[in-house]
């Protein structure tokens, strides 16, 4: 079918984007004045507000442009990118569980080259704060990805998020996230290739999250985001088999929030590295819990799939709460 192919009119989109960029630039300036209260610093990364759309739940940003104004979001972390395109796992890939979503997408993505050349110019006309999430099978893959991004530096790329925690692929990903040695190796490899702000996304499927966070800090990470999904499973009792083709999947959504919150607390109360809290945040109240646990920013994931404007609602609610309670920055909220 024609629409499987990809021969659309690129110039037309670019023109539309440029026009749109003009409007956004003006509204961005206003936003900045208004949102000083919400601005946050995650190591070297400055954001006008502390809400980031989590990788894997906002596509490449383009999928959301007619539904929300992505320029008003703190930053977007695009779908994890690998050196070569990946097709992902066979279906079924997702299943709903109580207050949660179990997924085994398998890191389907267009590959770093296609992203940088074709998609980034379009997305960067809608938002100037993009975090590139990268993944690989070996430490060398991660290093090469970092090098490619470094060589194609764009003002809109405000950081690299290293995914060492995806539970849905056989090699790589989680293999590095499960041990301090692996985490340190990948972080060091990426650090060696880029001066861009470096965030490492950690897995909750470990015995001691502080140990892993500490090793990536030593290896040169500027911040950590935690948590990625929790490894889980669901069985179809009639068919007597797993509901996911991959057997196991990553659990996300409100059901994992208490786990995420506890892990954020553990890291912020033991280490100095800035923490981005992720896991089941669906409202500004949830976000406040993470700031009270010491997070410098939050990522919204599964909630965006259900309510695309969740991120924007959180920013609004957070501002109202901070004014009412007299907080001057999100970091003031830490308890």
Partner 1 sequence: MVYCFYNSLLNHLNDKEREFAVRKDEYCKILINKKIADNIYLMSLRNSRISKEARPGQFVMLALHDLNRASDPLLRRPFSICYAKDDVFYLLYRVSGRGTAIMSTLSPHSDIKVIGPLGNWFSQDISFHILVAGGIGIAPLLFLNARLNKLGLSSALLCGARSKAELIGTSQIKDLLQADDISPDGAAQYVTEDGSKGHKGLVTDYLMELIESNCLPQHPDNKIIIQACGPMPMIRAVRRLLLRSRWGENIRFEASLESVMACGIGLCLGCAVETRYGHIHICKDGPVVNGKKLI
Between CA 52 and CA 91 the distance in angstroms is 28
The reply on whether position 90 binds partner 1 by CB under 8 A is: yes
Is 58 an annotated catalytic residue?
A: no
Nearer to partner 1, 102 or 209 (CB): 102
Using the minimum distance from each CB to partner 1, give the nearer residue, 100 or 294.
100
Establish if 258 lies at the interface with partner 1 (CB under 8 A): no
Residue entry with tokens 């015995």:
207
Asked if 271 and 217 count as a contact pair (C-beta separation under 8 A), the reply is yes
Site size toward partner 1, by CB under 8 A: 54
Catalytic option among 17, 32, 58, 166:
166
- Considering the complex, what minimum distance in angstroms separates the CB of residue 257 from partner 1? 10
238 binds partner 1 (CB under 8 A): no
Q: How far is CA 248 from CA 8, 14, 89, in A?
A: 37, 41, 11
Q: Which stretches within the chain are classed as H helix?
A: 10-34, 112-114, 120-123, 139-151, 174-177, 180-191, 209-218, 257-268, 284-292, 302-306, 310-325
φ/ψ of residue 273, rounded to 5 = -65, 135
Residue choice 45, 60, 134, 159 for contact with partner 1 (CB under 8 A): 60
Residue with tokens 């070996």: 138
Q: Is 2 in the site for partner 1 (CB under 8 A)?
A: yes
**26 neighbors 16 (Cβ within 8 angstroms):** no
Judge contact between 276 and 243, C-beta under 8 A.
no
Residue 88 binding partner 1, by CB under 8 A:
yes
Question: Rule CB under 8 A: is residue 237 a binding residue for partner 1?
Answer: no
Q: Which one, 218 or 309, has the nearer CB to partner 1?
A: 309
Residue 175 makes contact with partner 1 by CB under 8 A: no
Task: Decide: is 326 part of the binding site for partner 1 (CB under 8 A).
Answer: no
Instruction: Spell out the residues 6+ positions from residue 70 whose beta carbon is closer than 8 angstroms to its own.
Output: 53, 58, 61, 64, 76, 126, 127
Minimal CA–CA distance to 60: which of 121, 144, 136? 121
**35 vs 109, which CB is nearer to partner 1?**
109
Residue 99 binds to partner 1 (criterion: CB under 8 A)? yes
State the Cα–Cα distance between residues 54 and 26, nearest whole angstrom. 26
CA 166 – CA 104 distance, rounded (Å): 9
- Tell me which of 11, 26, 30, 87 binds partner 1, using CB under 8 A: 87
Quick one: which of 159, 253, 274, 311 contacts partner 1 (CB under 8 A)?
Answer: 253
Applying CB under 8 A, among 31, 69, 113, 114 the residue interacting with partner 1 is 114
User: Is 92 an interacting residue with respect to partner 1 (CB under 8 A)?
Assistant: yes
Q: Which residues are catalytic?
A: 166
For binding to partner 1 (CB under 8 A), which residues are involved?
1-9, 12-13, 56-60, 62-67, 79, 87-88, 90-96, 98-101, 103, 105, 108-110, 114, 119, 122, 253-254, 282, 302, 304-309
């Amino acid at each position: 079918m024609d629409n499987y192919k990809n021969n659309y009119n690129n110039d037309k989109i670019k023109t539309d984007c440029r026009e749109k960029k003009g409007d956004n630039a003006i509204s961005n300036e206003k936003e900045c004045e208004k949102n000083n209260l919400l601005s946050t610093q995650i190591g070297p990364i400055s954001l006008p507000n502390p809400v980031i759309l989590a990788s894997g739940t906002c596509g490449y940003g383009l999928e959301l442009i007619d539904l929300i104004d992505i320029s008003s979001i703190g930053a977007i972390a695009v779908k994890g990118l690998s050196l070569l395109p990946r097709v992902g796992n066979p279906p079924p890939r997702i299943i709903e569980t109580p207050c949660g979503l179990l997924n085994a997408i398998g890191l389907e993505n267009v590959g770093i080259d296609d992203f940088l050349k074709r998609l980034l110019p379009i997305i960067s006309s809608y938002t100037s704060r993009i975090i590139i999430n990268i993944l690989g099978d070996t430490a060398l893959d991660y290093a090469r990805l970092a090098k490619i991004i470094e060589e194609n530096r764009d003002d809109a790329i405000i950081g690299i998020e290293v995914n060492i925690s995806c539970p849905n692929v056989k090699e790589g990903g989680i293999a590095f996230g499960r041990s301090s040695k692996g985490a340190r190796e990948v972080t060091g490899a990426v650090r060696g290739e880029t001066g861009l702000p470096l965030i490492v996304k950690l897995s909750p499927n470990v015995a001691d999250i502080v140990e892993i966070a500490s090793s990536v800090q030593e290896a040169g990470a500027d911040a950590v985001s935690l948590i990625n999904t929790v490894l889980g499973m669901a069985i179809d009792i009639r068919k007597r088999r797993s509901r996911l083709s991959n057997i196991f999947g990553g659990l996300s959504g409100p059901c994992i929030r208490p786990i995420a919150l506890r892990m954020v607390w553990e890291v912020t109360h033991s280490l100095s590295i800035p923490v981005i809290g992720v896991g089941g945040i669906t409202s500004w109240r949830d976000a406040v819990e993470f700031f009270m646990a010491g997070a410098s920013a939050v990522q919204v994931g599964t909630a965006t799939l259900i309510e695309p404007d969740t991120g924007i609602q959180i920013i609004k609610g957070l501002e109202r709460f901070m004014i009412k309670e007299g907080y001057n920055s999100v970091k003031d909220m830490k308890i």
